[in-house]
Structure formats: structure tokens, C-alpha cells
Amino acid sequence: DAAAEGARTAALAGATRADGVERTRELITTAVGARYAEDVTAGTGTVLGHAVVSVTVRTTLPLIGLLGVDRGLEVTGHAAVERLG
């Protein structure tokens, strides 16, 4: 959910990929802690000819509580780029 929200933030008109990364990190840090928000990246691409922003989070895969496999979980959120006019 944090990756998708970050992608939506970055896809807003006037926003940057850095805005999406920052929003994603804020959400993860609030929910489970900053160490889970260390590897967040954003990129651009196209889906069916439409511009999209993607935000990817690579973090620990929790197995017992919040302990687990380092970088064992990778999720990516996508959002269509908003254009005005």
C-alpha cells in the first residue's frame, strides 16, 4: 500500500519521483520503522502507451514478528502520470 501511495504521489501534476519516494518512506516509517524504508526507488515507464510512475520497496521479509530475511520482500506500486491541459 505504501508503494502504491508513493507512486500516486509521484504521478501528480507538478510532483517528482523524489516526492513519491519520500511519501513511501514516511508511510513505512510510521507503520513499522525507518529500517524498513531504506531501499525505496522510483522510476518511469509506459503501460499500453500511457506514462506511469513506479515506486519499488525492497525490505526485510518478516518471518517471526519483525525479524526475517534481509531484502526478502519486494513490492512495486504503479500510477498513471497526471497531465494538465
State the Cα–Cα distance between residues 5 and 10, nearest whole angstrom. 9
pLDDT of residue 66: 67
State pLDDT tens for residues 27-56: 999 999 999 999 999 999 999 999 999 999
Residue with cell 512495486: 76
pLDDT of residue 72: 83
State the Cα–Cα distance between residues 20 and 57, nearest whole angstrom. 11
Domain layout of the chain by residue ranges:
2-80
pTM over 0.85: yes
Flag whether pLDDT at 65 surpasses 80: no
State the Cα–Cα distance between residues 76 and 54, nearest whole angstrom. 6
The 8-class DSSP code of residue 54 comes to E
Q: Name the pLDDT band for 21 (thresholds 50, 70, 90).
A: very high
